[in-house]
Amino acid sequence: MFSIRFTLGVCFRKRWVLLVKSPYSLRGLGEPRVPGSAAAVWMSQASLFLSSTISSVAQEQACILCPLVDISSWWHTALGFAPSPFNRQIPFCPDCSAVYGRKSTTSGYYRIRPRADREPFLAFCDMSDGGGWTVIQRRSNGRENFNRKWDDYKLGFGKFQGKNDEYWLGNDHIHDLLARGEYSLKIDLMDWHGERRYAIYENFQLENYRLWFGTYSGNAGDALSGGSNFEDQWSASHRGMQFTTFDKDHDQFLAGNCASENKGGWWFNRCHAVNLNGRYYKRGKYSGPHDDGLVWSTWHGMWYSLKYSAMKIRAPFFIDRESGDGENSQAS
């Protein structure tokens, strides 16, 4: 025994909303509740087709089909659609690789949802450089304040509009993305002469925000591992470090707080060889009481603050297919 209703949905703000729900309810094939109506039987066939189509669309293709048939808010208001329980069942693409897989190959902001039991959120999908990159951090102009407290880093902050807007996606969001499986991290860097370098780390993980990563490749140097000599690695490697902000000190520096000194939240040791969330200096070389710039030590050292950084993640099979050198990434 089964019961089917005619259901028609439309997309509103990239969510399915219920537009029409038929009055027909069938109990068993050919036994419509509206007796003697051939139309009702026909409707039941049509509704079966439509509801199964919508449900398969909802399960697998919403993230590509939804933007194509999105309707504007005045339609919503004019027709008085109520948000339906349907909304809750609509999965978004879990990450930008999935968005890319749905043939949405234009770089831009997409609403993604790595966990079905949490709300979707905006992230920049970098569809250049092989495509499918979910950008978790970007610095490009110094307009955003990165000297922020724990909760800001936890939830994310910044501007999610222009292709070079600065943001931190949020430790919770990053964690949820990485919990889906194996991810590679690629870091695009640019100095004040416009020269670019990159670093790729396989098997990037956050374990309760604690940083883990695997093999390095690239041309910026393996700064996340702390640099080339053993002493530096001991004090500056970021492997296995917990996240620290000025209001939550989890670093290895007993006499102080690395985030306070270095003006941004990061996986500090005592303290760092990399700080992509540091202070944004509008020049390369800088000086001061602390090496608090936007630093990637194995390229320009601790006293050179970079012009651009983007941290982005992608499933490793994408890396195998095409690994770029950052030439096409989003820096202006």
Which positions touch Ca ion (CB under 5 A)? Answer: 249, 251, 253, 257
Neighbours of 21 (CB within 10 A): 15
115 or 290: whose CB is closer to Ca ion? 290
* Least distance CB 184 / Ca ion (angstroms): 30
Cβ 331 vs Cβ 190: under 8 Å:
yes
Q: State which residue, 15 or 263, has the beta carbon closest to Ca ion.
A: 263
Cβ 257 to Ca ion shortest distance, Å: 5
Q: Give me the helices (H) in the chain, please.
A: 38-56, 62-68, 73-79, 86-89, 96-101, 150-155, 171-178, 230-236, 258-262, 297-300, 316-321
Pick between residue 196 and residue 270 the one whose CB is nearest to Ca ion. 270
The answer to whether the CB of 134 falls within 8 A of the CB of 312 is yes
Q: What is the C-alpha separation between 213 and 8, in angstroms, rounded?
A: 46
Identity of the residue, 5 or 250, whose beta carbon is nearer to Ca ion in the bound complex: 250
Residue 258: CB minimum distance to Ca ion, A: 6
Q: Quote the CA–CA distance of 190 and 188 in Å, as a whole number.
A: 7
Q: At closest approach, how far in Å is the CB of 268 from Ca ion?
A: 8
User: Considering beta carbons, is residue 7 or 257 the nearer one to Ca ion?
Assistant: 257
CB of 80 to Ca ion, least distance (A): 56
Q: In Å, how far from its chain's centre is CA 251?
A: 26
Give residues with Cβ within 8 angstroms of 119, minimum separation 6.
113
CB of 284 to Ca ion, least distance (A): 29
Residues paired with 267 in a beta bridge: none
**Closer to Ca ion at the Cβ: 175 or 250?**
250
Q: What is the DSSP letter of 273?
A: S
Q: What are 134's strand-pairing partners?
A: 125, 313
Query: Smallest distance, Å, CB 175 to Ca ion?
Result: 22
CB atoms near residue 176 (< 10 Å) = 20
Looking at residue 222, what DSSP letter applies?
Answer: -
Q: Cβ 248 to Ca ion, closest distance in Å?
A: 10
Nearer to Ca ion, 177 or 241 (CB): 241
Query: Among 171, 273, 151, 152, which Cα is nearest to 221's?
Result: 273
Of the pair 7, 269, the CB lying nearest Ca ion is at 269
Measure the CA–CA gap between 197 and 217, rounded to whole angstroms: 11
